[in-house]
Amino acid sequence: MKNIVLIGFMGVGKGSIAREVSLNSDYMTVDTDDIIESMQNRKIKKIFETDGEQYFRTLEKDISIWLQKSVKNTLISTGGGFYKVKNLKKIGTIVLLDSPFDSIIQRIKEHPNAENKLKKRPLLADLEKAKELYDLRRPEYLALADIVIDVTDKTALECSKELLKKVKKND
Ligand code: S3P
8 lines ligand 1 (CB under 6 A): no
Amino acid at 155: T
Rounded CA-CA distance 31/14 in Å is 9
pLDDT tens digit string along 23-44? Answer: 999 999 999 999 999 999 999 9
Answer positive or negative: Cα dihedral of 148, 152, 156, 158: negative
1, pLDDT greater than 90: no
Q: Is residue 161 within a helix (H) or strand (E), and if so which, with residue range? A: helix 156-170
Q: What is the mean pLDDT of residues 80-88?
A: 98
pLDDT tens digit string along 140-161? Answer: 999 999 999 999 999 999 999 9
63 lines ligand 1 (CB under 6 A): no
- Candidate of 123, 126, 140 to mutate for ligand 1, largest count of ligand atoms within 8 Å of Cβ: 123
Q: What is the DSSP string of 110-134?
A: HSTTHHHHHHT-GGGSSHHHHHHHH
Q: Does the model's pTM come out above 0.85?
A: yes
59 lines ligand 1 (CB under 6 A): no
Mean pLDDT for the chain?
96
Least confident range of 116-120, 125-129, 166-170: 116-120
How remote is the CA of residue 80 from the centroid of ligand 1, in Å? 4
The β-bridge relationship of strands 74-77 and 147-150 is unpaired
**Under 8 Å between Cβ of 17 and 79:** no
Question: What is the set of domains in the chain, with CATH numbers?
Answer: 4-163 (3.40.50.300)
Q: What percent of the chain is modeled with pLDDT above 70?
A: 100
